[in-house]
Structure 1
Amino acid sequence: MQIRNLYEPFEVEYLETCECPVMAHKHNFFELVYIIDGTGTQCINKNNWPYGPEKLFLLMPQDCHSFKIEKSTRFFFIRFNDVYIKEQSKEWINKLEFIFQNHNRLPGCILKNKADKPLVKSLIEALIREYVNQYPYQRELTQQIVNTLLTIVARNITFTTPEITKNTESKDLSMLSYIHKNIYTPELLRAEEMAAHFNISPTYVSEYFKKLTGESMQQYIMNYKLKLVETRLQYSDMRMNEIAFELNFTDESHLTRTFKKYKGMSPSEFRKNKAALVSG
């Protein structure tokens, strides 16, 4: 299977093809695929999704995908890698982190909010104009538009995550969302705080959570924190002590011991391994 690489932080590509099929391939970068017009099927990790005009797909590194084209299709591709991510601000990295951790909740087209479709269409049209005309400051403007598109992606993921309410019928995913939202504020993740928020007994919180997820609340919180550590190690240049501070580990040594206990390697080893995969 062909593996494609990206040799600059980000790029865009406009493509029209009637070739069928576009063969299965993987790549070592992130990709947004926008369908301008045409119809067919996109296969992502052996799952088939019909595509048509104004569909937007998000592909992660190592996703396997291909296209079966039924009607001549115009695609617009937006690709970016970890170098692009590392160039962004801390607030922007947090937004991308949210996308990476939750993208699997959006199978197929990522645009779940109908009101965003004309906005995305106008942004893609602007990107095509920049791509074709190559005006001065084209790259800088393109990057700003790409960031706006990623913000829309994050918003659409938010729309599929249930809001935090005290409605007993919606506690399940809401409780998980509450943990994700407050992972940087450990005092809000105490059983007493969560019990008050969801209007249930403090003595029942742990039992309810175990029934919901099959693991204890503290175990789930730790696993989620370690997943965030992995994201920062792979997609940012943050130092170990900065990651430890942000995710409320006692210090760098505490982070290293915990990570090694659960992952079987130190954070620095994990980072080196991921860097080697990308460069290889």
Structure 2
Amino acid sequence: MEIRNLFQPFELDLVEVTEYESNKHKNTFFEMVFVLDGKGVQIINNNKLPYSCDKLFLVFPQDTHTFEVATPSRFFFIRFNETYLKTQSKEWIQKLEFIFHNSNHSPSCILKTITDKPLIRALVEALIREKINQQPQQEEVIKQLINIIITIAARNILLVLPLALKNQSTINALPLVSYIHQNIYEPKMLLAKTFAKHFNVSPTYISEYFKTQTGQSLQEYITAYKLKLIETRLQFTDMHISEIVDELGFSDASHLNKLFKKYKGVSPSEFKKSVNK
């Protein structure tokens, strides 16, 4: 199977195809695919779903990916790698991490809000114009447009049930987990009494209430989310353990190491070595 690499922080690519494409491949970078025209089937990790115009897809490193083209199609690809991530602000990276944590790596369109489809199309068309026209500060404008698209993608994923919640009371569950995602870097905001006050629930009942809505206790969910963020840091950044400790509110490096090894079976350094291989 072909493995594709990206040798620059980001890349934009407009592709037009008229026939069946069977070149299944894996990337070592992140890829957003917007369908400008055409119909067919997108295949990610052997899962198939039809594609049509104004759909946006996410393809992650190591996902297998290809298309089956039914009618002449135009795709716009936004590709970016770890180097690009390191140039962004902490807040922007946190938005992207939300996508990492909640996407199920399926070939479904992530745009759940109808009004966002023409918005994304307009942004993509603006990127195409910027790529063609050599204007002052072109690269900065392109970066801003890419970041807006990613932010809109994150907003739409908020509408999808995160972490395969077991309980079907999604109307009640979504605000709970969204509050955790928004405050994961502020430990004081995740204390049971603070959490309970925000949702007007008794502090003695909040964990039971959270489990009723999500299938997990409050602490279980917070721990699982923090572990996923640690994995993301270890896999896609060069952050030191001490930096992750400070950012996620651990008492010290020993605390983080013990927690990670308890749930993952290996130390953070061992995990980083394994993913780098």
Structure 1 and Structure 2 fold alike (TM over 0.5): yes
Count, aligned residues: 271
- 1:182 maps to which residue? 183
The aligned residue for residue 131 of structure 1 is 131
Deviation at 1:72, TM superposition (A): 0.6
The whole-number CA distance in structure 2 between the counterparts of 1:132 and 1:178 is: 41
Q: What are the superposed Cα offsets for residues 80-126 of structure 1, whole Å, 9 maximum, x if unpaired?
A: 11111112121221121122122339861222222222222222122
Partner of 2:154: 154
Residue in 1 aligned with 2:248? 247
Q: Is the 8 A contact 2:47 2:106 kept in 1?
A: no
In the alignment, structure 2 segments of 5+ residues that lack a partner are 163-168
Deviation sequence 1:234-266 (CA, Å, 0-9, x none): 223332212101211111222222222222222
Classify 1:125/1:214 alpha carbon distance in 2 versus 1 (closer, same or farther; 3 Å). Answer: closer
- How many Å separate the matches in 1 of 2:161 and 2:29? 25
With over 3 angstroms needed to count, the CA separation of the structure-2 counterparts of 1:155 and 1:216, relative to structure 1, is: closer
Paired letter, 1:145: L
User: Which residue number in structure 2 is paired with residue 68 of structure 1?
Assistant: 68
Pair 214,122 (structure 1): closer, same or farther in 2 beyond 3 Å: closer
CA distance in 1, matches of 2:113, 2:172: 23
Of residues 130-139 and 64-73 in structure 1, the stretch that sits farther from structure 2 once superposed is 130-139
Matches within 5 A, 1:1-280: 1-104=1-104, 108-135=108-135, 137-160=137-160, 170-276=171-277
Distance (Å, rounded) in 2 between the aligned partners of 1:185 and 1:26: 36
8 Å CA contact 1:35, 1:52 repeated in 2 = yes
Residue pair 1:105, 1:157 contacting (<8 A) in 2 also: no
Alignment CA distance shift 1:36-1:215 (3 Å): closer
- TM-fit CA distance, 1:57: 0.9
Equivalent AA in structure 2 for residue 16 of structure 1: E
Q: Which AA in structure 1 matches 2:102?
A: N
2:165 match: none
Distance 1:158 1:272 in 2: 32
Single out whichever of 230-239 and 53-62 deviates more from structure 2: 230-239
d(CA) in 2 for partners of 1:139 and 1:245?
Answer: 32
In 1, distance between residues paired with 2:210 and 2:113? 30
Aligned residue type for 2:147:
N
Aligned-residue sequence identity (percent) comes to 56
SS at 2:194's partner residue?
helix
**Residue-by-residue CA offset, 1:209-257 (whole Å, 9 max, x unaligned):** 4455554332322121111111122223332212101211111222222
Question: Which ranges of structure 1 fall in alignment gaps of 5 or more residues?
Answer: 163-167
Equivalent residues of 1:42, 1:50 under 8 A apart: yes
Find the counterpart in structure 2 of residue 165 from structure 1.
none
TM-superposed CA distance for 1:194, in Å, is 3.3
Q: Partners of 1:200 and 1:147 in 2: how far apart?
A: 36
In angstroms, what is the RMSD of aligned CA positions?
2.6
Displacement, 1:135? 4.8
Cα distance change on mapping 1:236 and 1:72 into 2, 3 Å: same
Q: Give the conservation status (yes or no) of the 8 Å contact 1:86–1:235.
A: no
* SS of structure 1 residue aligned to 2:70: strand
Deviates more, 1:77-86 or 1:46-55: 46-55
- Asked if 1 retains the 8 angstrom alpha-carbon contact of 2:5 and 2:29, the reply is yes
8 Å contact kept, 1:36–1:53: yes
TM-score when normalising by structure 2: 0.86
SS at match of 1:265: coil
